[in-house]
Amino acid sequence: MDNQINQDKNMKIGWIGTGVMGFWMCRHLMEAGYSVTVYNRTKEKAKGLLEMGAKWADTPYGAAKEADIVFTIVGYPKDVREVYFGESGIFKSCAEKGGKYLVDMTTTEPSLAVEIYEKAKETGCRALDAPVSGGDVGAREARLTIMSGGDKDVFDKLLPLFSFMGKNIKYTGKAGTGQHTKMCNQIAITGIMIGMSEALIYGYKAGLNLEDMVNTIKGGAAASWSLENYGPRILKGNYDPGFMVEHYIKDMGIALEEAKRMNLNLPGLTLVHQLYTVLKAMGHGTSGTHSLVLALDKLSGAGFAEKK
């Protein structure tokens, strides 16, 4: 199978999760010539892949049954657990046929990543945790950052496939370290999102041309991926998700639990987690993370959200 991974485009792939990011990631593999069987809770979200020639499976087990490699990117840790350990899950297929490679690209609990890794070994399979960063734009343009934990030899074998989905692809160490690295990513973003949002509100209240302001500061020390990609969306009042608020709340919750386990106090993360919880309560759970500006605007009373 090693030669298949690197050379044989007829190798069978199972793909579970065709949401905002998973759809594009799977599509890139199909465009590269790989045969894919997909499963998603909502079949309609896989329609574009099915029209391209993907096969449909009614369960995670069905997507994994004949696959050499199974990729998963779903919503929450409970979803990950269900697609791997459930009655119609991936490990049922591993018990019938070993030798599979399992790659969970969901952002989930590091301890769950280790559990999957160990169960995979028990069933004669190999597993990596490989969460991603880059949002819908990174997924669509195959420019994701991929952070992968597990055995280095498995990472090296799967690197050619990762290269169809991302540009910044890193091996992070033993099982679970990919998820810990993603937690660092999510923690770092909290400061960027609140800073960007407050800068826009401040600029609005000061009477600045916000487009000019963003174009000015994004070329200096305030430059960030979020300002570059989300700033223009905010100015257009477009809060469609590149990454959903409710999923980010989940990620921050995992990071806070891990911090608690390590006896760490992270006040910045705690504050932003609370602000996003307010945002969700305002009805923006399925909006993009850049909609944080709406909660901060409400708290500040600036009136930014009502601007034309």
3-state SS string over 95-120? HHCCCCEEEECCCCCHHHHHHHHHHH
Length of the chain equals 308
Output the CA–CA distances (angstroms, integers) from residue 44 to 22, 39, 58, in the order listed. 14, 11, 13
CA atoms within a 13 Å half-sphere pointing along the CA-CB vector of 262: 11
Handedness of CA 107, 236, 223, 293 (dihedral sign): negative
Active-site residue numbers?
182
3-state SS string over 8-20? CCCCEEEEECCCC
Question: For the chain, how are helix, strand and coil distributed in percent, rounded to 5?
Answer: 55, 15, 30
Output the CA–CA distances (angstroms, integers) from residue 49 to 35, 36, 106, 132, 164, in the order listed. 11, 9, 19, 21, 16
CB atoms closer than 10 angstroms to residue 33:
11
Q: Minimal CA–CA distance to 243: which of 284, 282, 206, 281?
A: 284
127, β-bridge pairs: 102
